[in-house]
Amino acid sequence: MKNIKKATLNIPLFTLLIGFTAFLVSCGGGKQGADLEMGAPFGKESLKDIIERRGLNSEDVLAAAKTYTPDNIADEYVALNSGGQAGNMPMYTVPSMRMLKYVPICTRQPEIGYGYSMETKKLMEKGFIDGQEILWGDTHHPGYSETNGVYDGKWATVNDKANPRIFIVSLEDWEVKDVLQNPLFRSDHGGNFFTPNSEYILEATQYPAPFDRKYYPLSQANFEKYWRGGLTYWKFDNETGKVDLENSFTFEFPPYTQDLSDAGKLASDGWGFTNSFCTEMYYGGMESGRPPFEAGCSSRDVDYLHVTNWKKAEQVLAQGKYKVINGHKVIPIEVSIQEGLLYLVPEPKSPHGVDVDPTGDYIVVAGKLDSHAWVYSFEKIMKAIDEKNFEGYDNYGIPIISLESALHGSVEVGLGPLHNQYDDELGVIYTSIYVDSRITKWDYINLKVLGYVPSHYNIGHLVSSHGDTREPTGDYLIALNKLSIDRFNPVGPLHPQNHQLIDISGDEMKIIYDLPIPMGEPHYTILIKKDMFTPIDTYPPGTDITTNAKSQYYTDMGAEKVVEQGGEVHVYGTISNNSVTPSDIEVNQGQKVYIHLTNHGASKLDHYVYEIASYDQMYRWRPGETATLDFTADKAGMYPLLLDKIHHPDEIQLMGYLKVNFNEKAENDRLLAYASRVQWDMKMQSFKPSSIEMKNMLTGEMEFLNHGCNACHRFGEEYNGPDLLMVDKRRNDEWLKSWIMNPEKHMKEVDIEAMRQKYKLAMPNQNVSAENTDKIIQYMKLKSEAYMKGIQTQ
Amino acid sequence: MSNLFTRFFVLAIAWLLVAWLPQPVSAQQTLQEVQNIRSLDDQDVLAAVKTFMPRGGRDEYFAFLGTGNSGTMVVYGIPSMRIYKYVGVFSPEPWQGYGFDDESSLMLKKNSPDNLIYSYGDMRYPALAETNGKFNGKYLFYSDGANSRIAMLGLDDFETKQVLAHPLFTSTFGAVAVTQNTEYIIQTSQYPAPWDNKANTLADAKSGITFWKFYDPVGETETGHHIGRIIKEESFTLELPPFTMDYFDAGRLESHGLIVGIARKGDAHYLYVIDFTKLTGAAKVSVHESDVVTLGKAVEAKAIAMIDIGQKVSKVKVTPDGKYFITASDEAFVFDFGKVKNAMSAGSYSGQTDGSIPLIDKSTVLHGSVPLGKGAQDVIFEYRKNVAYASFYDDKKIVRWNYTSLKKESELPLTFKPSHLMIPQGLSAEPHSNYLIAVDKEGIYDNYPSVGPVRPSFQHLIDISADDEMVDIYTMSIPQANIYGSTAVLRTTIKPIIRYETGTNTRTGEISEYKTVAGMEKIEREGNRVHVFGTLIRSHIVPEIVEVNEGDVVTFHLTNLERAEDETHGFTIDTYGKHGSFEPGKTASLTFVADRPGVFPFYCTEFCSALHLEMEGIFLVRPKNYKGPEAGEEEVLTKEQLAEFKKNYEDKIKVINETQAVINSVVDWLTQNNYQDHSYVKALVEDAVDQLNQAELAKTNHERYAKEGKYRDAFLWAEQYWQYQVKAADVGLRAKELLRITLEEQQ
């Protein structure tokens, strides 16, 4: 338990314990942890005993009391996160920080059944871009629908960065209702920012690519001519949750790499703000000697904030001033310039968050490569536009508003500022600081720092309660830390994320909980008060949950039937009272089978999983739901049909059997399909020697490479370090071993010091084990020998 | 303008030097105030401090859940009840690239009868590997009750290493049991079904018990990697008449060699006892290329007997000392293994059941029975000698009782209906105490946030540390899990690794033949087959630009060169449906057909550094018979542009020097405070040095280009050098912060 802090029973703690006098008097006498045999009972403990045994300090006890939420107390908020590469949306409660739900989004999830019924499979297929099966996603930025600039508890949306799509989730049942593909982009990032009355959802590109989705050879000229960024305004119907494709449109942007956006509010309502990086329009190519993206994309001093006027864009669209690409309306850059829809403002280098304050008067941008957060005044931006106070135009002719005329001011907040959230106190803002691993609380109106709190480690986004709305509540702040290194029980090389809950109700920010996020990587989180949405427990009988309409396959009790037509078998069945009707199903091998079941259970406990054992077919029916299993009965035999009542502890129950009668032709088809899968696997594994020729390697060569010795040393030439040819003749093995394993011990030796001067580098300690060091020494001998032989034979 | 920015850079650097500012001191809230605001009583505060984990603290136990149809392992900590990880086992999971990269896909397909990746599983009762009846913390096993598979996970890296389809069963019980030295992993059928897919009547249905041979080489690999595997060829199945098979357990210590389980047929309820030591030598027949011991041979070998229990029972569990096995309904029945063994060796049977299986009269082998409540759900053991717990669903209670004296000791009334029970190491020779976990399948809480019809699963932490009372202290919700049984082991028994040896194929544990090291990245083509051998390190992917032809079969073989803890990179190509997770040292591959021409960005999917978003590249697919515009001439810089770049270069060199001074000051501080004495800090510092070592190439390049007067290239490479410095500084600062906290705590 060496990582648990030593017991620090100091004076303030005793003052905390005043409420506990009764306990302290009556309890005590618990056995002391150290005396116990491993696993033995602790015995009855008083508060003091527990605190001593667990090594808690007074801050820990307060944090425990602030977060512990027994069954008779309600949590205050629900946090909705993007799930990153897990392609889902994790949710947890605040302040008890208990994991609540993984809303499946881009990835199939059997426990909920998402992607297993015909209905949910069809929903997922709506997101298959160019027909490509995509069963995962990289969900990034969730958003809640708003009315008058505050959450209205109706909808949540999230984007998929890897496959530019938007998913719409109803807050009634927290299920996905729709999937939209972006018809132009190949990548998006700053998805899902609602305008204050949910008129639109903003989705911007991340990495630029040609809008027509065609191929163009990569060159600077082509990159600038054909590659494009953009910002899509999806027209949203806040009642139905549907997007009106006809009235949605995209601003064409230059091929800068766009990042996050935010919609204006109040004074700035009608405007959108999108930031960008790599306005250098650089592309890498390390393999061909070009500096990598990371160098070229951060070589200028500033990037550009894109300011877009969507209210005016609506008028321009009505005048027909757009072009249609892939069936979608695009406002070309020229039109935006002519009509005054798009302006650029210099912003700090490589920004991430652009966040409009609760009043809509200020816009704060945090640039990762600048130590300042910059505060823009919306009023000043408008004035600059009116007065045409431009410092110039970019290569595409877009006016660039001069920084001085738009900036309210800047504040030095720390190294690597990333994202901002607001407090309920006017002017107070929290900014995440990635490199410094902390949160800076500051005043964006009076431009001064108010305080700091450390985060562990490397905070990305942060969220404060309702902190991106017109009415932040100022209760909690959560740090979304990217690294958790030593914070939790170790669970292998892949670590959980770490979300730290911070109490911001007082003047001082207090970290009160560390929550491991056990799957995926949330990029952004939004908190919503627990009572701001009204969830349902059950559905009206026959509901298709993907449409919320009554399913055409609804089957009444007693009306169950099996219909066979055109080689297809349709089973219309029911689930009721722990059983399924019909119980047995008989089909012929090769037939396409549809099992349409209606769950007549009406209580919130009536959740059933129905499945076909060893046939990889299952779905979970919610109370009232109608859904379908559709599959081809491609293998013959008898397969148990099983029903599991989720909210009951019984083992899964046998309903009957799926009997698939053997058919020779269908069996042949199955075997052919099997053979083609095996062939694909062989292709997958077709051997090509890796970058290291593993066969014919000299003893120790692998260790030499693994420890990166080749980064500095070569044989027969000087490189970043001395030539290793015949090094074994110059030094003895013992010295070499000591040098490789503990170079710092030898740094004061005169010849070593001389070499340090010469190469301007010190030999690093590469943590080579004794065994590997021996191998490396042997390799150096063998390699020298081989080299000399090579010279002699030449 | 540029003055303004130079100032920012310098100030940015200055930040590195700023010492930690003292926090403003405000009035500290008292515990009493917090209690009042949140309506917590004193019992709540006791529960809070028993479960709250101070920052950076370690839970006492690792617990592994049976998650039902989620097909995913969930691992959490006791007593904080925080979930640490979800791991794809029977279901694909993209965060880990599981079922999305080649290595895991091949592992999943290899042992499937039709070379398919099945999409889910139903895993109810996990089992940990054992040595002498104690959990050894090396492996974890799950049975798939839906798609009839078995899985093995390595607890060194918490990854699934093996998933095997059962060659005979189409329905398996969702549990496994492990013999006391992990000689065998035992799996049974659940519902009877024919073993032949041409059979179409239940007359051909069978049941069975499979003994999967497990081989765990004594010498671990140099990296501590666990390399044990199930050996299909040395496994065998005992054929049984068509019983419905239920829960089972393996004997230990003096009952080692025996398996006990529940079997039903119609209204008949049995306990079966199998002596597998008598089956290993028995003659086998081959069915679907797997070894089967026929029932006849088993009966002949005196390897099987059954006890007619006369009523429906829910579980059967072997006591920690291996002397008894217990099953319960309204009454708990304690059976004596010694008596069972004697009956089997003496052949004192009372009759026969299906397939001439001998029956043992219940009363002759019973140690005793005790009524405890109505309809017991589960039984579990703990550290206190001969003490067991039983859960009662309808009675909403847990009973503590003694299974040798057959006395009820105490009862805990609950607010929910308990089902499955778990005590850390409770099903081993070395059970622990203090914590009892009880599952609540209904999970109805008025105050718990409702998020639609699909709710999480719940379980409660019950404090059993006191001799006289039990207290329900924590309600834990678990999403994406349909909870059944679980198991837990002392934290320190599991010894996870934090990185792989460079180039590891983590599914086989071997060095991948596709391993790639820095500077040796390459693209190889052979006809329409393209192999990309690439590397990942903060913050670039090499190669960055990859162009192929439409229809090419392309594989990206990528190796993460990082050695730093928690420096995972992810990789995907937009809209091609593949994703890989690359933990430090891992090599994995993504194969797909480049069937759509166009431009597809690729990028790192795991936030890895301040320049993570710039960790990107472009994949181009050139259409067949391409006739569009060509690349065009590269632009030539004007004199003015060149002069501008020269100035930028010189400015950047200044910044580089200033940054180096800052790095040096951080290093000095760390050295003065003996950073090397703290392993976590030391690892971070080494990592920072690694980053700086990477910078050498950039330095050589910028100096060379500057010498040649190519100032744009010189500037860009200088920029790259500075990026490495920033990354080194980032890690250095993290190390400084960690050391500062550590030193503060020591004071």
pLDDT tens readout for residues A755-777: 877 776 678 777 788 888 999 99
- HSE of A519, CA atoms in CB hemisphere, 13 A: 32
According to the model, what pLDDT value does residue B219 have?
Answer: 63
Mean local confidence (pLDDT), A419-441 = 96
Of the pLDDT bands very low, low, confident and very high (cuts 50, 70, 90), residue A32 is: very low
Using the predicted structure, report yes or no on whether residue A301 has a pLDDT greater than 90. Answer: no
Residue of A nearest to B717 (CA): A291
Looking at beta carbons, which residues of chain B come within 8 Å of A214? 597-599, 628
Residue at A260: amino acid letter: L
Scanning B408-437 for CB atoms below 8 A from A yields 415, 419-420, 424-425, 430-434
Of the pLDDT bands very low, low, confident and very high (cuts 50, 70, 90), residue A787 is: confident
Q: Which of B614, B645, B667, B713 to mutate to test the interface with A (most CBs of A within 10 A)?
A: B614
Q: What is the CA radius of gyration of chain A?
A: 32
Six-digit token pair at A363?
């816009």
φ, ψ (nearest 5 deg) of residue B612: -60, -40
Which of A616-630, A725-739, B176-190, B438-452 is the least confident region?
A: A725-739
Of residues B454 and A704, which shows the higher confidence score?
Answer: B454
Which of A224-233, A308-317, A494-503, B644-653 is the least confident region?
A: B644-653
Mean local confidence (pLDDT), A172-185 = 97
Looking at beta carbons, which residues of chain A come within 8 Å of B555? 684
Looking at beta carbons, which residues of chain B come within 8 Å of A414? 15
Residue B225 in contact with partner chain A when CB distance is under 8 A:
no
Torsion region of A681: left, alpha or beta (phi above 0 gives left; psi -120 to 50 gives alpha): alpha
DSSP E strands in B464-566: the ranges are: 471-478, 486-490, 504-505, 510-511, 522-526, 529-537, 540-542, 545-549, 553-560
Q: Do A295 and B170 touch (CB under 8 A)?
A: no
Looking at beta carbons, which residues of chain B come within 8 Å of A616? 116, 118-120, 147
- Give the span between the Cα atoms of B562 and B560, in whole angstroms: 6
Six-digit token pair at B323?
């002397």
φ, ψ (nearest 5 deg) of residue A9: -85, 85
The DSSP 8-state label assigned to residue A698 in this structure reads P
Looking at CA atoms only, how far is residue B345 from chain A in angstroms? Answer: 34
According to the model, what pLDDT value does residue A760 have?
Answer: 67
Residue of A nearest to B52 (CA): A64
Looking at beta carbons, which residues of chain B come within 8 Å of A433? none
Residue of B49, B520, B628 lying closest to A215 (CB–CB): B628
Six-digit token pair at B370?
């005790």
Residue B737 in contact with partner chain A when CB distance is under 8 A:
yes
For residue B684, the surrounding DSSP H or E stretch is helix B679-694
Looking at beta carbons, which residues of chain B come within 8 Å of A692? 503, 515-517, 520
Of the pLDDT bands very low, low, confident and very high (cuts 50, 70, 90), residue B12 is: very low
- Decide: residue A252, CB within 10 A, 0-12 exposed, 13-18 middle, 19+ buried: buried
Of the pLDDT bands very low, low, confident and very high (cuts 50, 70, 90), residue B595 is: very high
Return the percentage of chain A with pLDDT > 70, whole number: 93
According to the model, what pLDDT value does residue B21 have?
Answer: 34
Looking at beta carbons, which residues of chain B come within 8 Å of A369? 12, 610
- Give the span between the Cα atoms of B688 and B671, in whole angstroms: 14
Using the predicted structure, report yes or no on whether residue B11 has a pLDDT greater than 50. Answer: no
Residue of B11, B49, B572 lying closest to A54 (CB–CB): B49
Of the pLDDT bands very low, low, confident and very high (cuts 50, 70, 90), residue A19 is: very low
Six-digit token pair at A384?
């600059």
Contacts (Cβ under 8 Å, ≥6 apart) of B533: A690, A691, B514, B516, B520, B521, B522, B523, B524, B557
- Give the span between the Cα atoms of A308 and A235, in whole angstroms: 15
pLDDT tens readout for residues A385-405: 999 999 999 999 999 999 999
Residue of A221, A640, A646 lying closest to B191 (CB–CB): A640
According to the model, what pLDDT value does residue B438 have?
Answer: 98
Residue A564 bridge partners (DSSP): A569
pLDDT tens readout for residues B540-571: 999 999 999 999 999 999 999 888 889 999 99
Of the pLDDT bands very low, low, confident and very high (cuts 50, 70, 90), residue B223 is: low
Which value does ipTM take for this structure? 0.90
Contacts (Cβ under 8 Å, ≥6 apart) of B708: none
What's the CA angle centered on B460, arms B160 and B73, to 5 degrees?
A: 10
Highest mean pLDDT out of A297-301, A668-672, B28-32: A668-672
Return the percentage of chain B with pLDDT > 70, whole number: 95
Residue whose entry in the numeric block shows the structure tokens 């050498």: B696
Residue B701 in contact with partner chain A when CB distance is under 8 A:
yes
Q: Do A613 and B501 touch (CB under 8 A)?
A: no
Residue B351 bridge partners (DSSP): B359
According to the model, what pLDDT value does residue B277 have?
Answer: 96
Q: How far is CA A511 from the centre of its chain?
A: 23
Using the predicted structure, report yes or no on whether residue B677 has a pLDDT greater than 80. Answer: yes
Residue B739 in contact with partner chain A when CB distance is under 8 A:
no
According to the model, what pLDDT value does residue A255 have?
Answer: 97
Residues A641, A585: contact at Cβ < 8 Å? yes
According to the model, what pLDDT value does residue A300 have?
Answer: 84
Residue of A15, A83, A84 lying closest to B30 (CB–CB): A15
Looking at beta carbons, which residues of chain A come within 8 Å of B719? 291, 295-296, 298-299
Residue B631 in contact with partner chain A when CB distance is under 8 A:
yes
pLDDT tens readout for residues A188-225: 997 789 999 999 999 999 999 999 999 999 999 999 99
Q: Which of B652, B413, B349, B607 is nearest to A461 (CA)?
A: B607
Mean local confidence (pLDDT), B526-540 = 91
Of the pLDDT bands very low, low, confident and very high (cuts 50, 70, 90), residue B94 is: very high
Residue B193 in contact with partner chain A when CB distance is under 8 A:
yes
- Give the span between the Cα atoms of B152 and B64, in whole angstroms: 13
Looking at beta carbons, which residues of chain B come within 8 Å of A60? 49, 52, 54
Residues B533, B516: contact at Cβ < 8 Å? yes
Pairing verdict, β B587-593 and B598-603:
unpaired
Residues A366, A413: contact at Cβ < 8 Å? yes
pLDDT tens readout for residues A686-704: 877 767 766 677 888 878 8
According to the model, what pLDDT value does residue B8 have?
Answer: 40
Six-digit token pair at B351?
């009759």
Mean local confidence (pLDDT), A31-45 = 75
Residue of A216, A291, A654 lying closest to B719 (CB–CB): A291
Of the pLDDT bands very low, low, confident and very high (cuts 50, 70, 90), residue B224 is: low
Scanning B277-336 for CB atoms below 8 A from A yields none
Pairing verdict, β B229-240 and B290-293:
parallel
Mean local confidence (pLDDT), B628-650 = 83
Of the pLDDT bands very low, low, confident and very high (cuts 50, 70, 90), residue A711 is: low
According to the model, what pLDDT value does residue B28 have?
Answer: 63
According to the model, what pLDDT value does residue A291 have?
Answer: 87
Scanning B88-107 for CB atoms below 8 A from A yields 91-96, 100, 102, 105-106
According to the model, what pLDDT value does residue A286 have?
Answer: 84
pLDDT tens readout for residues B33-79: 999 999 999 999 999 999 999 988 999 999 999 999 999 999 999 99
pLDDT tens readout for residues A78-109: 999 999 999 999 999 999 999 999 999 999 99
Cβ pairs bridging A and B (under 8 Å)? 750
pLDDT, mean over chain A: 91
Residue of B40, B499, B686 lying closest to A493 (CB–CB): B499
Mean local confidence (pLDDT), B662-684 = 85
Looking at beta carbons, which residues of chain A come within 8 Å of B552? none
Looking at CA atoms only, how far is residue A214 from chain B in angstroms? Answer: 5
- Give the span between the Cα atoms of A113 and A622, in whole angstroms: 10
Residues A684, B591: contact at Cβ < 8 Å? yes
Q: How far is CA A131 from the centre of its chain?
A: 24
Residue of B nearest to A648 (CA): B441
According to the model, what pLDDT value does residue B298 have?
Answer: 96
pLDDT tens readout for residues B347-395: 999 999 999 999 999 999 999 999 999 999 999 999 999 999 999 999 9
Of the pLDDT bands very low, low, confident and very high (cuts 50, 70, 90), residue B222 is: low
Looking at beta carbons, which residues of chain A come within 8 Å of B585? 493
Which of A23-37, B64-78, B310-324, B727-741 is the least confident region?
A: A23-37
Looking at CA atoms only, how far is residue A358 from chain B in angstroms? Answer: 26
- Give the span between the Cα atoms of A206 and A297, in whole angstroms: 13
Contacts (Cβ under 8 Å, ≥6 apart) of A116: A108, A110, A617, A618, A619, A620, A629, B119, B120
- Give the span between the Cα atoms of B242 and B258, in whole angstroms: 21
Of the pLDDT bands very low, low, confident and very high (cuts 50, 70, 90), residue B6 is: very low
Mean local confidence (pLDDT), A445-473 = 96
Using the predicted structure, report yes or no on whether residue A147 has a pLDDT greater than 70. Answer: yes
Residue of B196, B543, B690 lying closest to A286 (CB–CB): B543
According to the model, what pLDDT value does residue A712 have?
Answer: 72
Looking at CA atoms only, how far is residue B522 from chain A in angstroms? Answer: 7
Q: Do B531 and A688 touch (CB under 8 A)?
A: yes
Residues A465, A440: contact at Cβ < 8 Å? no
